[in-house]
Amino acid sequence: MGRLPVELSLRPSEGSASNWTVSAAATPRGAGLCISLVLLLTACAEAPKHPLIVENPFAGKWQEAVPAPARLVLEQVYGGDGEGEGEVLEGPSFASADPLGDLYLVDDERLIAFRPDGTTRWSVASRGEGPGELRLVGGLAVTEDAIWITNQLGTRIDRFDLDGRVGNSRSLAGLGIRWAALGGVLENGNLVIATRLRGRIGNRVRVISAAGAPTIIDSLTVDRTGAIEVLENLSLGGEVSVVGDAIAVSLVDKFGYAFFSPVLDTLRVVLRRDVPYKPPYPFVLNGNSGVLSSGRLDPARSLADGRWLAGGAWSKDPRSPERRAEAIIAGDPSPLELEESVDLYDRDGTLLYSWGAEALEGVGIAGVLATDGESRIYARTKDLVPTVGRYRLELSQEAGRADR
């Protein structure tokens, strides 16, 4: 069976029209199957609902329950200030945990492994282009027996074993791929990588083989066109990740995510309404192309029982992106204050609970880096020195009652 075209109509945010074109092509070895999924964000006030779309209100299903049915509890801190036993971190950018609870971090140009008690197992790699050396890492994923990294400006995939020994390196140059980010590893062992689309807003997502020379098994393009003029030299894309055995792509100009199966069938689109999130705004300053960002969407990440974690930030500035860009061009930029949110979703895309800026400040979370697929969340902390905290997600009995 082929994949059938689907057309979806969604209510717009902020009254602007835009279009998303999502296309998927089968592996060159296959029969040439092709689909086109068009998400039309039209100005229609009463667009019909579609079974693939989950539209959530701003507040989650459990948000008003008292006491709060979900909380984050700090269990362990990784890193230190150099005076104790903790490994001194420079700036952790990617993280992943193995089934035994060991944590693996990309920190500057190093790959570090920590035991669950926070002590360092090993630290390897240095800046360079040789075997085992790191430069501009684009992603990290860990399986039961391997560590995978997109490396060297996203032109290479490196494999380490769980003891830090260099396995093999696979060049992506033969596939014409650069600036690849590793989204994760599917249950069948295939890797998910993503690149941004030059001159457009969107991503090209590829499923590639993990064994032998990299081979494209399938590909997906999430391409936004419409209300925002995109300048020729810009490349803007969303976050791509593996959630369970699905591929999640953030929508860039909507506070939401599109989910696809390992064979790139569309599963659902999950949106959070009424978030004052403004899309990236391209503009020109002194003849140079620029992009004004008014927020972000974080990658979606797996938790137990099919639940998943996501979130992001949006500007508190009431001005439109156009007015802010005009201020920057006029030489009068003002600091951008952001409202942050970490959001817990159920397996069907229902928003359950959100931690806002005040709650995140209370537990010391500066930015989520990874989850273990169960109940542990790894995040950069708000400590004065770079550290990573392991937090346990606790759901009370009230959560179960609120779920009924």
Distance (Å, rounded) from C-alpha 39 to C-alpha 247? 17
In sequence order, which residues have a C-beta less than 8 Å from that of residue 307 and are 6 or more positions away?
344, 345, 346, 347, 352
Instruction: Answer for the pair 207, 217: CB distance below 8 angstroms, yes or no.
Output: yes
Distance (Å, rounded) from C-alpha 174 to C-alpha 181? 17
Closest to 181 in 3D by CA, of 250, 124, 132, 229 = 250
| Range in 227-231, 237-241, 295-299 with the lowest mean pLDDT | 227-231
Residue 71 pLDDT > 80: yes
Distance (Å, rounded) from C-alpha 259 to C-alpha 238? 13
Instruction: Please report the DSSP string for 37-51 in residue order.
Output: EEEEE---TTPPP-T
Residue 187 pLDDT > 90: yes
- Cis peptide bond upstream of 69, omega within 30: no
Confidence at residue 320, expressed as pLDDT on a 0 to 100 scale: 78
How confident is the model over 138-183, as pLDDT tens digits?
A: 999 999 999 999 988 888 999 999 999 998 888 898 888 888 999 9
324 vs 137, higher pLDDT: 137
Distance (Å, rounded) from C-alpha 388 to C-alpha 80? 9
- In the three-class reduction of DSSP (H, G, I as helix; E, B as strand; rest coil), residue 247 is classed as strand
Confidence at residue 238, expressed as pLDDT on a 0 to 100 scale: 85
Residue 13 pLDDT > 90: no
How confident is the model over 299-322, as pLDDT tens digits?
A: 999 999 999 999 999 988 888 777
Confidence at residue 18, expressed as pLDDT on a 0 to 100 scale: 43
Residue 69 pLDDT > 80: yes
Instruction: Answer for the pair 123, 89: CB distance below 8 angstroms, yes or no.
Output: no
Residue 122 pLDDT > 80: yes
Residue 248 pLDDT > 60: yes
Instruction: Answer for the pair 310, 297: CB distance below 8 angstroms, yes or no.
Output: yes
Q: What is the mean pLDDT of the chain?
A: 81
Residue 278 pLDDT > 50: yes
How confident is the model over 15-68, as pLDDT tens digits?
A: 333 444 555 444 343 333 333 344 433 333 344 566 789 999 999 999 999 999
- Fill in the DSSP letter of residue 331: T
Distance (Å, rounded) from C-alpha 88 to C-alpha 21? 45
Instruction: Answer for the pair 259, 268: CB distance below 8 angstroms, yes or no.
Output: yes
Instruction: Answer for the pair 156, 129: CB distance below 8 angstroms, yes or no.
Output: no
How confident is the model over 330-340, as pLDDT tens digits?
A: 877 777 788 99
List, edge to edge, every strand of the sheet that includes 166-171: 139-142, 147-151, 156-160, 166-171
Distance (Å, rounded) from C-alpha 166 to C-alpha 147? 9
